[in-house]
Structure 1
Amino acid sequence: MDILKLSERLMSMDESSWQRHSNPLSVYSRFSILPLFTIALATRELLGWWTLAALMLVSLWTWLNPRLFAAPKTTNNWASMGTFGERVYLHYKNEGLIPEHHLRACKKIVLLQIVGLPFWFYSLYAMDFALMILSTAWLMFTKTWFVDRMVWLYQDVKDLKPAFQSWLKS
């Protein structure tokens, strides 16, 4: 099972939520999710059972985020094009539409994200705050790199389908 497809299904992303998610406020505010999860888990001894409430709030924020912001008037920006590339990647990566160099790069970036996860989990388990900061920064860096790759992907394929071109509003 493709983890990205699964997350799209769990997020119930439809055309309207994708349009709203292309708002740069949605994209940039989503970068808060991993630090918020990290803080909620790192403060579990302080919060006790309230940690579950904090985790539920962060999960709710994760789900609500692509729906909270209005569709942007202009999408000719890095954040919006990152969401467009993600849509293309999710829906067309197995159809031969995406150039091979993008597929290879995405696999490598995802592998780098996966490499960082055990360190993040261990840091939370061991309450190793230095490793927590480092592993969270690593995961944020690789996520940003992935979004940047999605921008590049979108720019390379936007003329292949009229629907892709229609997402771009100047």
Structure 2
Amino acid sequence: MAERAMGMTPATWDRHANPWSGWSRVAILPLLAAAAWSRVWIGWWALVPVGAIVIWTWVNPRIFAPPASTDNWMSRGVLGEQIWLVRGGEPALAHHLPVVRALTFLGAAGAILLLVGLVLLDLPLAVAGLAVAMLAKLWLLDRMVWVFSDARLTAPMPAYRPDT
């Protein structure tokens, strides 16, 4: 669902595999949290940084050139995510499913804690939620590197095509 909302195409995925794209996206959730918290200081003007971050979230996978090499952790994580979206139900990748589900649940729980902390202006709760969500996201990205490695052993690349 998020992939469709982001309008991810094969060309967009190629660009998103650039490590600059992946690493700059890691900062999105903390920046979004800070922008939401800024309502304390700047009131409704907080919608400006929130809007800028939402726009950056959409623009980011499109703005960087395809990487010269995918021989790095971030590129492999992004490519693994791409593979997972298409082939995650295959028997060769089935051993990843329980971990992916657990990390997705953990990330969602962290995001809920973050949201509640932001709404209530409870800094410890917001920071705890952000830490849990970020830890789950990075751990899931590391799992996608593993998915990428496993998938390369079972099928040739490219594995992603949204129309199939």
Structure 2 runs not aligned, ≥5 long: 160-164
Q: Which residue of 2 aligns with 1:66?
A: 61
Contact kept, 8 Å, 2:96 with 2:147, in 1: the verdict is: yes
Change (3 A) 1:98 1:61: farther
Amino acid corresponding to residue 136 of structure 1 in structure 2: L
Q: TM-score, normalised by structure 1?
A: 0.88
Q: Does 1:124 align with 2:118?
A: yes
Q: Which residue of 1 aligns with 2:38?
A: 43
Amino acid corresponding to residue 11 of structure 1 in structure 2: M
Q: 1 CA distance for matches of 2:122 and 2:107?
A: 19
Q: Which residue of 2 aligns with 1:17?
A: 12
Question: What displacement does 1:151 show?
Answer: 0.2
Amino acid corresponding to residue 79 of structure 2 in structure 1: F
Q: Once superposed, what is the RMSD of the aligned Cα atoms?
A: 1.4
Change (3 A) 1:63 1:98: farther
Contact kept, 8 Å, 1:41 with 1:124, in 2: the verdict is: yes
Question: What displacement does 1:83 show?
Answer: 0.7
SS class of match (1:13): coil
For residues 19-58 of structure 1, the C-alpha deviation after alignment (integer angstroms, 9 at most, x for no partner) is 1111111111101110111011111122222122221100
Q: Which residue of 2 aligns with 1:147?
A: 141
Change (3 A) 1:98 1:124: farther
Contact kept, 8 Å, 1:92 with 1:98, in 2: the verdict is: no
Change (3 A) 1:160 1:68: same
Q: 2 CA distance for matches of 1:61 and 1:134?
A: 25
Change (3 A) 1:97 1:23: farther
Among the aligned pairs, what percent are the same residue? Answer: 36
Contact kept, 8 Å, 2:88 with 2:94, in 1: the verdict is: no
Contact kept, 8 Å, 2:92 with 2:154, in 1: the verdict is: no
- Which moves more between the two structures, 85-94 or 70-79? 85-94
Question: What displacement does 1:97 show?
Answer: 4.8
Question: What displacement does 1:103 show?
Answer: 1.0
Q: TM-score, normalised by structure 2?
A: 0.91
Instruction: Pick from 73, 80, 83 the counterpart of residue 78 of structure 1.
Output: 73
Amino acid corresponding to residue 151 of structure 2 in structure 1: V
Amino acid corresponding to residue 122 of structure 2 in structure 1: D
How many pairs were matched up? 159
SS class of match (1:163): coil
